[in-house]
């Protein structure tokens, strides 16, 4: 059977490129002075023969192919090439690990440490200790402490902005999906207005291109997770005009029809007012490049959850955000939680490419995780996961979703749920998702 697809390391499925196998062998051979394309082709053909005629899987992984390449090189008497290829694989692995490490380290260690210390001080740094709050019916106490910590962070940002009020023209609330941008922007705006600082809000979501120009994947999903889904030239023209106190005509985007309406809305900044935007990609420079750097203040949000599960592994930040988005999509967008899990590979791809590499440009990094939220999230979502896992387990094209659903389900199994949300304050960031 011809091999047509292959699993990448993130679990996604891509077309299998036979030529890549040949090129990898050729590069390894070239390292020891054997620049022989015919030899590389012959060896690659043997690899393909094993995959197509003597391999138990119809869709191999990248690692499967690499292991077979090593096997063929050794069996065919090319030990030196095999050694060069093994070294090549290790270098690639080291580069991937360094990249992953660099992505984490874009968040200052002190910021992450601050969250961990807070959890230690409040006896909620592990799932077991969090469960104690649920079992003892003292979760409301942790909720109060968590919400107070969030409010204190807002106060610090307010003070920081107030010091630069004479130069700031644009306040950007940015961060990955479901990090809490909407609530944070609203509450921060109220605090700054109490300081007599005026605002106008520019809704970046109105600048999406019409849906018909967006490409679909084989599953019918549109990719909204990149900045180039937005009309960046128009955004920058309007920002430049607003900084100059000129009137702009802001488009209206209808997400139901996937098109801009004919009607627009006039917007003008008065002298002394700050333009406020909250956007996934606000930290990506090309979104706001028409505004001078010293005129911008960027607040970056992330759920810097510092909670260890029963295996002593830290809960992944992205998993917390995916749970939040699953609820929001269900509550407000009539979107099946299964589709949210399946779509998450787009979300992560957009974050890793267009958001995370630019974190170091933020003026303030804000942890929007809530120490108490997993018991609440479980109440809403736990029931969906068996069905999601079963569906994606059978879909060879969505093994990334299957692995993700398995991991999150295993986490929620450890968490003791809280059976209602009445204890969550009305102004909590969690209300942005649960309603």
Distance CA 413, CA 378 (A): 9
User: What's the pLDDT score for residue 102?
Assistant: 52
115 shares a domain with 48: no
Q: Of residues 34 and 123, which shows the higher confidence score?
A: 123
User: What's the pLDDT score for residue 33?
Assistant: 87
166 shares a domain with 46: no
385-393 and 337-354 are packed helices; what angle lies between their axes, rounded to 10 degrees? Answer: 70
Final residue of a structural domain among 103, 118, 152:
103
190 shares a domain with 69: no
219 shares a domain with 96: no
Q: Which residues is 364 bridged to in the sheet?
A: 299
358 shares a domain with 280: yes
68 shares a domain with 144: no
Token pair 């970056």: residue: 300
DSSP 160-195: HHHHTTTT--EEEEE-STTS-HHHHHHHHHHHHHHT
Percent of the chain exceeding pLDDT 90 equals 58
User: What's the pLDDT score for residue 143?
Assistant: 98
For strands 13-15 and 5-7, give the pairing. Answer: antiparallel
Distance CA 128, CA 55 (A): 43
What would the pLDDT profile of 225-274 be if each residue is shown by its tens digit?
567 788 899 999 999 999 999 999 999 998 778 888 999 999 999 999 99
Distance CA 232, CA 185 (A): 21
72 shares a domain with 170: no
Phi, psi torsion values for 111, nearest 5 degrees: -70, -45
Taking CA atoms, 322 is separated from 138, 150, 278, 302, 428, in Å, by 26, 20, 19, 12, 18
What are the CB-based long-range contacts (under 8 Å, 24+) for 137-140?
139/372, 139/375, 139/418, 139/423, 140/423
301 shares a domain with 240: yes
239 shares a domain with 178: yes
Final residue of a structural domain among 58, 85, 103:
103
User: What's the pLDDT score for residue 98?
Assistant: 61
Q: Of residues 113 and 93, which shows the higher confidence score?
A: 113
Residue 296 C-alpha from the chain's centroid: 23
Give how many domains the chain has, as a whole number: 2
Give the pLDDT band (50/70/90) at residue 99.
low
User: What's the pLDDT score for residue 189?
Assistant: 92
213 shares a domain with 241: yes
CB 298 within 8 A of CB 175: no
The domain in which residue 59 lies consists of 5-103
Q: Flag the least confident range among 10-19, 79-88, 173-182.
A: 10-19
151 shares a domain with 96: no
What would the pLDDT profile of 294-316 be if each residue is shown by its tens digit?
999 999 999 999 999 998 999 99
222 shares a domain with 85: no
User: What's the pLDDT score for residue 225?
Assistant: 57
CB 131 within 8 A of CB 415: yes
Question: By CB neighbour count within 10 A (0-12 exposed, 13-18 middle, 19+ buried), where does 293 fall?
Answer: exposed
- The CATH number covering residue 270 comes to 3.40.50.300
User: What's the pLDDT score for residue 214?
Assistant: 58
């Amino acid at each position: 059977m011809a091999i047509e697809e292959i699993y990448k390391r993130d679990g996604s499925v891509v077309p299998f490129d036979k030529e890549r196998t040949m090129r990898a062998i050729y590069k390894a051979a070239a390292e020891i002075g054997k620049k022989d394309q015919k030899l590389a082709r012959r060896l690659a053909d043997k690899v393909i023969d094993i995959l197509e005629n003597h391999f138990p899987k119809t869709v191999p992984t990248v690692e499967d192919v690499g292991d077979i390449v090593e096997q063929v090189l050794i069996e065919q008497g090319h030990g030196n090439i095999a050694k060069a290829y093994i070294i090549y694989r290790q270098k690639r692995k080291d580069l991937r690990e360094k990249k992953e490490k660099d992505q984490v380290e874009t968040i200052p260690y002190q910021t992450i440490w601050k969250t961990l210390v807070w959890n230690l001080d409040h006896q909620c740094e592990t799932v077991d200790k969090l469960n104690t709050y649920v079992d003892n019916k003292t979760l409301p106490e942790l909720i109060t402490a968590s919400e107070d910590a969030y409010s204190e962070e807002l106060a610090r940002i307010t003070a920081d902005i107030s010091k630069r009020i004479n130069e700031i023209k644009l306040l950007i609330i940015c961060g990955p999906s479901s990090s809490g941008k909407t609530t944070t922007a609203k509450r921060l705006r109220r605090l700054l207005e109490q300081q007599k600082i005026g605002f106008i809000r520019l809704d970046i979501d109105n600048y999406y291109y019409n849906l018909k120009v967006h490409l679909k994947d084989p599953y019918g999903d549109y990719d909204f997770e990149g900045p180039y889904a937005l009309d960046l030239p128009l955004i920058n023209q309007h920002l430049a005009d607003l900084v100059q106190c000129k009137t702009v005509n802001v488009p209206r985007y209808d997400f139901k029809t996937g098109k801009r309406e004919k009607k627009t809305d006039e917007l003008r900044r008065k002298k002394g007012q700050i333009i406020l935007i909250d956007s996934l990609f606000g930290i990506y420079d090309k979104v706001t490049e028409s505004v001078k750097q010293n005129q911008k203040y960027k607040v970056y949000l992330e759920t810097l959850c510092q909670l260890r599960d029963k295996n002593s592994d830290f809960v992944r930040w992205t998993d917390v955000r995916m749970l939040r988005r699953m609820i929001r999509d269900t509550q407000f967008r009539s979107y099946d939680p299964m589709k949210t899990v399946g779509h998450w590979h787009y979300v992560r791809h957009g974050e890793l490419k267009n958001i995370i590499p630019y974190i170091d440009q933020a003026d303030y990094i804000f942890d929007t995780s809530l120490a108490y939220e997993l018991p609440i999230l479980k109440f809403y979502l736990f029931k969906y996961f068996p069905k999601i896992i079963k569906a994606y387990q059978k879909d060879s094209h969505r093994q990334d979703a299957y692995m993700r659903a398995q991991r999150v389900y295993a986490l929620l199994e450890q968490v003791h749920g809280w059976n209602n949300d009445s204890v969550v304050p009305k102004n909590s960031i969690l209300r942005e998702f649960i309603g």
